Chains A and B, each alone.
Chain A
Amino acid sequence: MEKFSVVIVFAVIIGGLSVINLFVSPPQILYSERRLPERMPALNAENLLSGEFMAGFEPAAADAFPFRDGFRAIRAVTVFGAFLQTDKDGVYFDTHGIGSFAQTNPESVALAAEKIAAVAAELDGLNIFYAFIPDKSVFAERTRPGFDAELTENILRERLDPQGLQFISLCGAVDASTFFRTDLHWAQSGLSLVAQELAAAMDIELPPVLNAQWTEAGNFYGVYVGQLALPVRSELMLYFDNPDVRAYYLIAGELQPGPVYDLEMFRGIDPYDIFLRGIQPLVVIENDNAATDRHLYIFRDSFASPLAPLLASAYSRTTLVDFRFIDMRTVRQFAEFAPGSDALFLYSSGILNNAEMLMVNP
């Protein structure tokens, strides 16, 4: 019997999974990894001779593999439980939740500064501020050099302060609790200190946020849950419900109204898209009951989406521009940049370290 046992185990695993593989159709979306699976390349003579079919086969086969999430969990258990490693592909977990170690790329931060300066040069007469969002990993319990807030600040200030831009440090307003436990983003419910810090620097007054204005969106699993591939508890997502504000989105060359918090998108592949509908090149928030008639322009990434509705309490019009998806010439068609308005450049480490994504010529 013993000489059969290894063969049986091998046959059951290899044969069983191969057979299941034949009958299981590939997923449309890899929900836990929040991405589309690699598609099997077309089987034709050209692809075969060029090797493209073979090159594309393995990633597509791995994405369509049966029990993929289960196997990813087995790897995670092995990495953390057997190998006792402190992160898996840079993703760690501690008492603050899950995070990913980000690096600081000084060349990219410098490029980001040059791009910010180039845009600021076009904003005559505006009060221009800038800030960066420290990466969540700086609060990790286990020390590993990654995002360097001091270096980032020095690079930005060296290039932007002489241009007359005013730096706002958020380092004192952000800690581990500012962020979702399972996501890279900060939670809107943790942003009161950040909003106050910005408001003080920009000389505006924010109305107090009442408890009654916090509304539950539902349970939320952040992007790191899929990357960690281990079972993790969900967390509650709250949003600040301000009936005074209305949002408009640039769709097909026109500003069209839409919800500030889109609950349909909360149920989609990335629930964080609840805030201002996720990836948007240009969003305008209007507030008829604002304390002032000042305008605010935020040049931003996704971190600004939950922050902007808080700041919008003080501005009659808040325009959010994401230069990853729109250039300045197009922006000018929808934004007048009136003198006396405020402008805030607010970027996270992800953008500062990959500044080539910004569609701006330095």
Chain B
Amino acid sequence: MIFSSITFLYYFLPVALILYFITPMPGGSVRLRNIVLLVLSLVFYAWGEPIFVLVMIAQCVSSWALALLIDKYRGQTLSRVFFIISISIDLGVLAIFKYLDFFIINANNLFGAEFSLVRLILPIGISFYTFQILSYTIDLYRGRIQVNRNLLDFATFVAMFPQLVAGPIIRYADVELSITKREHRFEDVSIGLRRFVIGLAKKVLIANVMGEILDIYVATNENTVLFSWLYVTAFALKIYFDFSGYSDMAIGLGRVFGFRFLENFNYPYIAKSIAEFWQRWHISLGAWFKDYVYIPLGGNRVKAPRFVLNTLIIWFLIGFWHGASWNFIVWGLYFAAVILLEKFVLSRFKLPRFFGHSYVLFSVLFTAVLFNATDFSDIGATFSRLFGFGADSFVGTESLYYLRSYLVPLAIGIIGSTPLLKNFADKLSDRKIFKVLEPLTVGVLLIVSTAFIVDGSFNPFIYFRF
């Protein structure tokens, strides 16, 4: 089930909110509400994955049980053994479902073998919830959190539907207290719903409209420089509004249910360097790799050759996390190369801010080609076309028509990817008119988003495939 659907908005969500809030909290305990949240989450996941919900449940149970053993034998070799088993099971499941065919294809190419592909369907959100489970197991082994002895509470953490299928990647340490004890304040519900509606509008009114340009680009026969730039710009805006919109909805719903999830995006397109860009983009993923891979490898406090190696490893893994395909690996290593360039070359010069912003934007626009590529020849052709090589002309009738037609949505997307609107809203928030404007804006965005969904703008989220 996806948030931007009639099924979720007008069937699942009202029922979920009613069931959750009518469930009593005897003695202030949220145990019953956790059970309701868990059941709702399983229904939510089973709606899209009626069979694979069992895989998620099995991972929950095994990780929870092994965590008890890790804790029981703490300080002994057995604790380490159970830790390795637990991590191996979770990574093994991820490897089988997500990467097995990739390994088989490359083994066949490398060794001339003819192993058959298994062609397993990728369970939605497996990369997200597996990383959440791993964070629990690793933090428990490191002694940073207490073991959770209640399977239902643990399963609620893993399966919580707001962030289940596309993040943010929530760490157990961040919600440990909220899982067992949390407040439900009316103000949080209000802020959460507002955040949810803003995320919905970002997805439906901007990301999906940008998606129309991508579909048009794929279908066109026009081979021009302008159309290529229109494509990469639309892709950059689509992926940002698609993913940050989902994160807004997840964070908003989490808040409605009494959780505070960490931010996942912070206007990445205003960054002045790629290193800063990644501190603002998919923050929960970057932080996960930093804490669980990069720092254990030595982090920054190593000699230059080791730093280069660590950077390449991290970005190889981040690329590979996004998809079992070489274009994602190249995409990750591209970021590694730019970050190393920043570290060893650009940091020696005092460059104007304008240069920083520009080169970040261009670097990110180019990654659209890598990220969305179907094969390497496609990447080369699109890159070349951006600079006029292999293009029939600079502009064409069709690209001009669509530039004109999508000019306003593009402008809204560009402005919306900066903090301008947020700053404007913050300034207004002290004024009386804000009391009217806020609910009015929420209502209008909700109705217009519903109109777009009803009229068939029905696109799945890009990050569901990871």
Q: How many pairs of residues, A versus B, come closer than 8 Å at their CB atoms?
A: 129
> Which A residues are in CB contact (< 8 Å) with B419?
none
Contacts A13-B447, A48-B50: A144 and B454 contacting too (C-beta < 8 A)?
no
A76 to B448, CA, bound (A): 10
> Which B residues are in CB contact (< 8 Å) with A236?
none
The answer to whether B454 touches A71 (Cβ under 8 A) is yes
In this assembly, does B283 line the interface, its C-beta being within 8 Å of a C-beta of chain A? no
CB distance from B210 to the nearest CB of A (A): 12
The answer to whether B406 touches A85 (Cβ under 8 A) is yes
A168 to B412, CA, bound (A): 49
> Which A residues are in CB contact (< 8 Å) with B51?
49
In this assembly, does B344 line the interface, its C-beta being within 8 Å of a C-beta of chain A? no
The answer to whether A61 touches B193 (Cβ under 8 A) is no
A65 to B456, CA, bound (A): 12
The answer to whether A18 touches B11 (Cβ under 8 A) is yes
In this assembly, does A192 line the interface, its C-beta being within 8 Å of a C-beta of chain B? no
In this assembly, does A78 line the interface, its C-beta being within 8 Å of a C-beta of chain B? yes
A58 to B458, CA, bound (A): 10
A4 to B7, CA, bound (A): 26
> Which chain A residues numbered 95 to 143 have a C-beta less than 8 Å away from chain B?
142-143
Contacts A9-B439, A13-B443: A4 and B13 contacting too (C-beta < 8 A)?
no
A14's partner among B5, B10, B396, B407 (CB-CB below 8 A) is B10
Contact with A along B196-210 (1 / 0, CB 8 A): 010000000100010
A230 to B326, CA, bound (A): 47
Contact with B along A303-315 (1 / 0, CB 8 A): 0000000000000
The answer to whether A83 touches B209 (Cβ under 8 A) is yes
The answer to whether A17 touches B10 (Cβ under 8 A) is yes
B442's partner among A9, A18, A142 (CB-CB below 8 A) is A9
The answer to whether B448 touches A86 (Cβ under 8 A) is no
> Which B residues are in CB contact (< 8 Å) with A325?
none
Contacts A58-B5, A145-B398: A85 and B408 contacting too (C-beta < 8 A)?
yes
Q: Which of B55-63, B80-88, B183-191, B358-366 contacts A (4 or more CB under 8 A)?
A: B183-191
> Which A residues are in CB contact (< 8 Å) with B187?
3
In this assembly, does B409 line the interface, its C-beta being within 8 Å of a C-beta of chain A? yes
In this assembly, does B48 line the interface, its C-beta being within 8 Å of a C-beta of chain A? yes
A195 to B311, CA, bound (A): 74
Interface-central residue, A48, A68, A85, A87, by most chain B CB under 10 Å: A85
A84 to B443, CA, bound (A): 22
The answer to whether B450 touches A71 (Cβ under 8 A) is yes
In this assembly, does A218 line the interface, its C-beta being within 8 Å of a C-beta of chain B? no
A283 to B440, CA, bound (A): 58
The answer to whether B9 touches A14 (Cβ under 8 A) is yes
In this assembly, does B6 line the interface, its C-beta being within 8 Å of a C-beta of chain A? yes
A17 to B446, CA, bound (A): 12
CB distance from A176 to the nearest CB of B (A): 19
> Which A residues are in CB contact (< 8 Å) with B405?
85-87
In this assembly, does A335 line the interface, its C-beta being within 8 Å of a C-beta of chain B? no
CB distance from A140 to the nearest CB of B (A): 10
Contact with B along A144-169 (1 / 0, CB 8 A): 11000000000000000000000000
CB distance from A259 to the nearest CB of B (A): 37
In this assembly, does A15 line the interface, its C-beta being within 8 Å of a C-beta of chain B? yes
26 A-B interface contacts by CB (under 8 A): A3-B186, A4-B186, A5-B438, A6-B193, A6-B194, A6-B439, A6-B442, A7-B189, A9-B442, A9-B446, A18-B11, A21-B10, A54-B48, A54-B50, A61-B6, A68-B454, A71-B447, A74-B447, A74-B448, A78-B205, A78-B448, A85-B405, A87-B405, A142-B401, A144-B401, A145-B398
Nearest 9 A/B pairs, CB to CB: A74-B451, A5-B439, A71-B451, A75-B451, A71-B454, A75-B455, A86-B405, A144-B401, A9-B443
Contacts from B to A (Cβ < 8 Å): 1, 5-7, 9-11, 13-14, 47-48, 50-51, 186-187, 189-190, 193-194, 197, 205, 209, 222, 396-398, 401, 404-409, 412, 435, 438-440, 442-443, 446-448, 450-458
